[in-house]
């Protein structure tokens, strides 16, 4: 929500009352202490929004990655408690089943070469391993790659690569049929997202598809507070796709029967891309 829209809404809430009169009304009904806290809170929120705006401008002007740089991601995910294997981000079994059946299996062809970017502890790898003839895992965290290597030690169709957080240099051009990445690009800084899109364009065979869950909220209220969301919009992502010669097939926030399952935050979306 923009600063202007917010201040119009606040004024509407107060109606035609001036600030002092509004404070008096609140004071009469809630007492001085409550009203002082309310005033303090409004001031702090306003200050926080201004600081947020300044940080966003600084990032844009100087190309800073904020909390979504490769160094920050590496340190954060290396130290994550992976004992729940990423299932702490799964809202329900039904949600996960539907994402696999209605999205993964719908867009990615079975018995082909698939790349997963950012597998973590293998929450989606388990399903991908079952459908791919060759599955290539790429993560900037060596700990995540090691966890997957151990978890899928029995699988003979998986290759493991630790990367630099922005390229797929271990993968040959025009050699891949599908790319899957969920809950990863939402945390990646826009310049690195663009670098990956260029790489996806390079490694996909003509007709190959990528399913990428990414940020869409930019600096919307609260977006940067939760889990280090990337400062990009759905339109930014679409522009990057276009400029690297790929086609955006679909962009959606919900899937499954009647669209009953949704991305886990309102600042995220899913794009399906084709070469």
Ligand X SMILES: C[S@@+](CC[C@H](N)C(=O)[O-])C[C@H]1O[C@@H](n2cnc3c(N)ncnc32)[C@H](O)[C@@H]1O
CA 87 – CA 109 distance, rounded (Å):
25
Half-sphere exposure of 21 (CA within 13 A, CB side): 7
Based on CB atoms, which residue is closest to ligand X, 161 or 205? 161
Shortest gap between Cβ of 73 and ligand X (angstroms)? 4
At 127, list the tokens: 């399903």
Based on CB atoms, which residue is closest to ligand X, 35 or 163? 163
Shortest gap between Cβ of 94 and ligand X (angstroms)? 17
Q: Are strands 176-181 and 254-255 parallel, antiparallel or unpaired?
A: unpaired
Based on CB atoms, which residue is closest to ligand X, 43 or 71? 71
Shortest gap between Cβ of 140 and ligand X (angstroms)? 4
- Residue 218 backbone dihedrals phi, psi, to 5 degrees: 50, -130
Based on CB atoms, which residue is closest to ligand X, 138 or 241? 138
At 19, list the tokens: 């600030």
Based on CB atoms, which residue is closest to ligand X, 121 or 204? 121
Based on CB atoms, which residue is closest to ligand X, 144 or 211? 144
CA distances from 48 to 55, 69, 137, 188, 229 (A): 10, 22, 39, 23, 17
Shortest gap between Cβ of 4 and ligand X (angstroms)? 34
Binding site residues, ligand X, CB under 6 A: 70, 73, 77, 86, 89, 117-120, 123-124, 139-141, 144, 165, 182-184, 187-188, 192
Other beta carbons within 10 Å of 88: 11
Based on CB atoms, which residue is closest to ligand X, 192 or 236? 192
Shortest gap between Cβ of 112 and ligand X (angstroms)? 20
> Could you give the angle at the alpha carbon of 157 between the alpha carbons of 154 and 160, nearest 5°?
90
Shortest gap between Cβ of 174 and ligand X (angstroms)? 22
Based on CB atoms, which residue is closest to ligand X, 158 or 188? 188
DSSP 204: E
Distant-in-sequence, close-in-space partners of 220: CB < 8 Å, separation ≥ 6:
1, 267
CA 140 – CA 73 distance, rounded (Å):
8
**What residue number has its CB nearest to ligand X?**
120
CA 86 – CA 124 distance, rounded (Å):
9
Q: What is the CA radius of gyration of the chain?
A: 22
- Residue 270 backbone dihedrals phi, psi, to 5 degrees: -130, 130
Shortest gap between Cβ of 103 and ligand X (angstroms)? 13
Shortest gap between Cβ of 163 and ligand X (angstroms)? 6
């Amino acid at each position: 929500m923009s600063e202007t829209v917010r201040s119009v809404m606040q004024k509407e809430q107060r109606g035609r009352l001036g600030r002092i009169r509004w404070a008096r009304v609140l004071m009469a009904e809630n007492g001085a202490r409550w009203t002082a806290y309310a005033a303090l809170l409004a001031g702090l929120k306003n200050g926080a929004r201004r600081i947020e705006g300044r940080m966003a401008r600084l990032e844009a002007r100087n190309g800073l990655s904020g909390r979504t740089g490769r160094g920050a991601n590496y340190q954060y995910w290396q130290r994550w408690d992976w004992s729940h294997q990423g299932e702490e981000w799964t809202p329900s079994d039904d949600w996960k089943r539907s994402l696999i059946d209605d999205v993964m299996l719908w867009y990615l062809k079975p018995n082909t070469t698939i790349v997963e970017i950012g597998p973590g502890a293998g929450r989606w790898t388990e399903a991908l391993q079952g459908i791919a003839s060759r599955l290539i895992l790429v993560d900037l965290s060596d700990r995540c790659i090691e966890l997957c290597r151990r978890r899928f030690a029995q699988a003979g169709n998986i290759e493991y690569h630790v990367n630099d957080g922005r390229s797929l240099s271990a993968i040959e051009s025009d050699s891949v049929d599908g790319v899957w990445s969920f809950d990863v690009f939402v945390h990646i800084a826009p310049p690195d997202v663009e670098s990956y899109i260029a790489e996806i364009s390079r490694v996909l065979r003509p007709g190959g598809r990528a399913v990428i869950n990414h940020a869409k909220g930019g600096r919307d209220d609260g977006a940067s507070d939760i889990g280090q969301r990337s400062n990009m919009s759905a339109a930014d992502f679409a522009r990057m796709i276009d400029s690297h010669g790929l086609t955006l097939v679909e962009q959606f926030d919900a899937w499954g029967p009647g669209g009953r399952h949704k991305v886990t935050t309102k600042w995220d979306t899913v794009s399906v891309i084709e070469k």
